[in-house]
Structure 1
Amino acid sequence: MTIQRQYSLPNCTLILEGLSDGTAAPSQFDLRPALSILMSAECRFVGQGQPLTGGRDFFESLVKAVSSYAQEFLSGVPSLAGESTQPSLVRFQRINENLHRLTVQALEPEKTTSPASKPPLPTQIDLTTVQLFDLVEAVDQFFADSQTLPELSLQLAPVSKRHAKATAPIAKRALPAAVGMSSLALAAIAFFFVPIPEIQRPRDPVPQPNASGNLATPTPSGAGTPNPNPTPSPDVTPSASSSPTASPNPTPSSSPTASPLSAEELKGSEATAAKITDAAEIEELSGKVYEQINAGWKSRPGFKNDLAYRVTVAQDGAIVGYKLISPEEADEGQTPLPELLYKPVGSRRIGEPLADFRVVFTTGGVLQVSPW
């Protein structure tokens, strides 16, 4: 029984007729009999009165030619099928952007003794791009049909890069590299003329003569944070002495810039400094004082009687001064107060709010801190 397969598209119809050899079992999902012996192949196009017909050789040549030409048309890379030494029954030729010529060579007739016999002429059909890709779709449907000529397959291979045409001329492709190299060379030349910066070591401070003609040598004692905008005072004369004398009646400076205090001035400023009266702030400072002194009191106890001190604390919790209350004489080295005193002495701000606390070092090794 003859088996027919038809693959229809709007502009192309592919019809295959053949037989089944009976060896192929029907598929589980397709109960149609397998067409394994091709007897004839017919290809019809809309607008073309004469269809293209042939046998298995014609059909295999048509499948290979249309697949190769479609890849060449889409990629722009010439196909190697035209370089084959064996003649092909079906060939495609591009005429313009929308017209493609399909040529089918006629099979050579058997040799006859008649001298008047002439070889048959090839059949040529001009296809539009739409008709061409309908033919491509029909061929794709054939390859997707597993019940029609299952042993026939299309072998596709990538084209070598040496056959690909450059999309841009070599001069245009080399232009970015040339511009980059030129820019690099110009930048190197420009950097060549840039002078090398000179590195100078920091100079040692030079003593400057004061008003009395003596040279004032800078000393680290009593040095606090340098004032970026110092204001000269006519009543103050720089001196090389590192132990300034405290004024009996210190007058707060009206300048917003803080000036350093010596140890004596710090004791004298207690009478004029503002007192911290907020209960919450005093309680917080009491905790800070206890933590500092308790952490620094390593050897305890090392004395016979309790030691009571009046400790002056700034708003940030720094211990800026202390004074022994009882007994009248004691070794201060037995307490951590000398190590916890803010250094350098006298570098705090004038008029800074202060708070006094009573600190007792008991003989039992217990530290007591309470507001003064």
Structure 2
Amino acid sequence: MTVQRQYTLPHCNLVLEGLSADANDPLSPLAVLMNAECHLPGATDATLAGGREFLDSLVAAVSRYGQQLLSGVPYPRATGAAPPLVEIKPGDLPYHHHLIVHQQPLGEPVSDLNALPPLDIQLTTVQFYDLMEAVDQLLADSQTLPDMKAQFQAVSRRLVRPSEPMTKRAAPAALGAAALAAAGLALFFVPPPEFEPSRPESEASAPAAASAVPGDPPTADGDSSVAVAPDGDGLDRLEGAPVITDAATIALLQSDVTQRLQEAWADAPRPSGDLAYRMAISENGDILGYRYENDLALEEVDNTPLPELAFVPVAGAEPVQERVAQFIATFTPDGEVVVEPTEAPTEANAAELPLLEQKVTDGDRIRELNSNLYDSILAELEPLSASEALRFRVRLTEAGEVVGYEPVNAAAGLLATETPLPSLVTAADSTDAQADFQVVFTESGVLEVNPWDGWPQ
């Protein structure tokens, strides 16, 4: 039985048509979507239409952009990921927003050769809010596509930029240090009081050799610690933190941090020389602190993305207990960011796959292996706690056995045990022909599996 649902607002009309779950019950929910149309009067005369893929992409784009608009925290798309069917971007003016729909000729397979130019629709804030209200009404309607749920995920703390620049945040600490120095200088001229301290009888009878000699350095048991003002941003909190020594984890963190720093520094002014900083990175890729390594780096720190990307508490910082790895990040005058570990990692726990010597070349077999791997992972897949895509390189034998995998980004290395991949690995003869596949667990819960070297022709 064909069912139609309509969500109408002044600047948006969302119409869904599909099949009901029970043809004999007129009150049964719309379970199978046949067509979705979105009309935006006042913004465009074109009718945006498509199937379930179009509707899912529209709902995800509106939900994510609405969350970004209300919270003020941007959520960038994963680097290298293909653009979604529908996306929303901010316009040149604060009250303008661009709704971009990537079109494809009807009845033809998806291809870069026959793709139409994307449709760019400019919306005002009022028009976008009507579109968001229509989507909210759809998600709240239990009689329409009950399996469609709103998917909201917390933004990683690495994406939350401090509300104040580092120089402003450091001003109270600098002022306090100056006041402490002034007080110390004033007390220097106050003569100490003269008195003869009384000692217990047991201490008075102790051997003379046990007494402290003037000029000797303070002992470890004495209260001789001094507060040293940090010459960077937060590394003093990390002195007792456990160290990451695993080579695979360090390599993933190095690649992830390099990519984020390079992207954030793309449009910054170029320095006259190298800017070197020592950074402390947590297991999930957060920059927990940094410190300049040369004088020019101190002067140009506000021109780098470190003050915005670093997660450093403003006050009351406690020692960090999570595992960290230290790197040296160098911003060169040529516009490149070079990140290197401060210590050579150990190779004992490295999880890199060996060089693939004998490959599966049969195109039909590669497609079959790709389909079987997708089904095997999906059968055991449970919701993940990831707030970004997890990317893996998975290796299969020609017989379909999973012989190993390795994470491609830092988040994948941290959350690999949450995925079904460890349970799928089996022992197999290493001399068999093998093939590598890229497996991606997206932040929205979608599983993607593709041949590592691309689809065979």
Report the TM-score when normalising by structure 2: 0.39
* Rg (Cα) greater in structure: 1
Report the TM-score when normalising by structure 1: 0.47
